[in-house]
Amino acid sequence: MGMPGFRNDPPVIGNAKVRDADTLVIGEEVFRLSGVDALEFTQICTRNGADWPCGREATRALDGYLRGRTVSCAPEATDRYGRTVARCTLEDGSDIGEWLARNGWAFDSSRFGDGPYIDAQDEAERAARGAFAGTFDQPAEWRRMHRMEED
């Protein structure tokens, strides 16, 4: 495992396909949203005492939010899986990672101190949005428990 490679390429703009709640595809390029760690597609959470497919719901929510809108992804790095780590926004400048965190589908992934999405995440928790409507494991912990490679 090497260190991710820094990138300063021009933004890639187009219609994005949602692979999962923190991975987009524009054309042939795969983008991993920077600064957030979203619920895994197959992740199960608990709400009102019952299991619910929170990862699939997060993916569907993002797909609905982006549908028909132009996305711009500004590359920041390349991760160990060859994906382009990028900050992605909509044509009006809205940050997609912030939207995910504000709606409880993704979590600030800063490892030290408060990251760029911690306020949005706190707002989602206070309002019991997304995963905060029930109980869940943080995506990194869920991956460890289910033996998935960490993103």
Report, as an integer, the average pLDDT of 25-52.
95
How many other C-beta atoms are found inside a 10 Å radius of the C-beta of residue 65?
A: 16
> How confident is the model at residue 114, as a pLDDT?
67
pLDDT band at 2 (very low <50, low <70, confident <90, very high): very low
Give the separation between CA 138 and CA 151, rounded to whole angstroms: 13
> Which domains does the chain carry?
5-132 (2.40.50.90)
Other CB atoms within 10 A of residue 49 CB: 7
The C-alpha atoms of residue 65 and residue 17 are separated, in whole angstroms, by 11
Q: What percent of the chain has pLDDT over 70?
A: 90
The mean pLDDT of 121-136, rounded to a whole number, is 97
How high is the pLDDT of residue 82? 87
> Residue 150 — very low, low, confident or very high, per pLDDT cuts 50/70/90?
very low
Q: In the structure, what pLDDT confidence band is assigned to residue 18 with cuts at 50, 70 and 90?
A: very high
DSSP 77: E
Sign of CA dihedral 91, 95, 97, 103: negative
Q: Which two tokens stand for residue 72?
A: 């711009």
**Residue 35 to residue 19: CA distance in whole angstroms:** 17
Per-residue pLDDT reduced to its tens digit, 104-122: 999 998 765 568 999 999 9
CB-based contact 87:95 (threshold 8 Å): yes
Q: What is the pLDDT of residues 81-90, one digit of tens each?
A: 888 999 999 9
Residue 83, both tokens: 């994906």
Amino acid at 94: S
Listed residue (22, 52, 17) closest to 39, CA to CA: 22
Which residues, including other chains, have CB under 8 Å from residue 129's CB and lie 6 or more apart? 102, 103, 104
Q: Which residue do the tokens 């590359």 mark?
A: 75
Structure letter (DSSP) for residue 11:
P
User: How does the average pLDDT of the chain come out, rounded?
Assistant: 90
pLDDT in tens, 39-65: 999 999 999 999 999 999 999 999 999
